[in-house]
Amino acid sequence: MREDIIEKYLEAGRIAAKVLKEVRDFVTPKKKIDLLEIAEYAESLTIKYGGMPAFPCNVDLNEVAAHYTPLTSEPVVFDEGLLKVDVGVHIDGYIADTAITIARGEEYIEMARVNEEVLNHVIDEIRPGRSLGELGRLIEEEVYSRGYKVISDLAGHLIDRYNLHAGKNFPNTGEPISSSIKSGEVYAVEPFITFRDGAGSVDRVEPTHIFSLVKTKKIKDKRLDGLRKLIMSRYGPLPFTPRWFSDKYTYEDVVKLESMKYVRGYPPMIEKSFRPVSQFEHTVIVLDGDVLVTTRV
């Protein structure tokens, strides 16, 4: 991997880490929080520090595991539980993807602590040639040995330029047949865990607030074609949310594009038994002699 590309990945990671630190500081003193305020704060900090959002900030509370971003103000009382904040930053298409869980309440704080330790332990085991399925088994076994359960159908992922999910998963469970890690690859590593009595899997629910463009052919309808052009020019293939251009287009406009198969949706994912979920995530660059954690402070 060229040095200039590595530096862009590292800069995206530095920005993402700084954003999450400030988001944590912003949320910590508050008992009542507005999910929209958190998402917009994270996205505005990303731009302030010289990056661009690689996807809408995910703000996932308790049993919501992933892929939720608010469209309008959503004030909630956060006395105890687990609040996940998942941030993506890109520099010229080179992406950092990172997440923290803000925990309140003794049992939730302990789960989050275990989750973060498991993430750091598996990162220590990453190197070229390691089986992804073997690393997933290490995650699964450590989580179980410490009294929790992984969310088996959520996984980390290979990252490429302008491509968040570049074809290989970094599983959180053991897989007997899997790909191996190669030098020059970039991965988002993200164990999701819940209590032992949870289902350990997710359901996808509506409504969907996160989408990405998958088709670029011109549309006869001028309004919808204008929306297609806007998405293509601003976000390319990366995920977006309709609130980013709500001054010009409606949520229903985006849904029409989805029905025409111009965009795909990423529905929120809810733990099937409604048990709280914790998530921590880092982005790593795998090199022959080193593994660079781009999002670690």
Q: Which residues are catalytic?
A: 86, 97, 157, 165, 190, 281
Q: In terms of Cα–Cα distance, which of 73, 72, 101 is closest to 86? A: 101
Do the beta carbons of residue 253 and residue 263 sit within 8 Å? no
DSSP 246-268: TTT--HHHHHHHHHTTSEEE---
Q: What are phi and psi of 143, to 5 degrees?
A: -60, -45
Helix (H) or strand (E) holding 104: strand 94-104
Distances (CA, A) of 245 to 41, 86, 195, 231, 235: 16, 21, 38, 9, 12
Distance CA 41, CA 29 (A): 16
SS3 89: strand
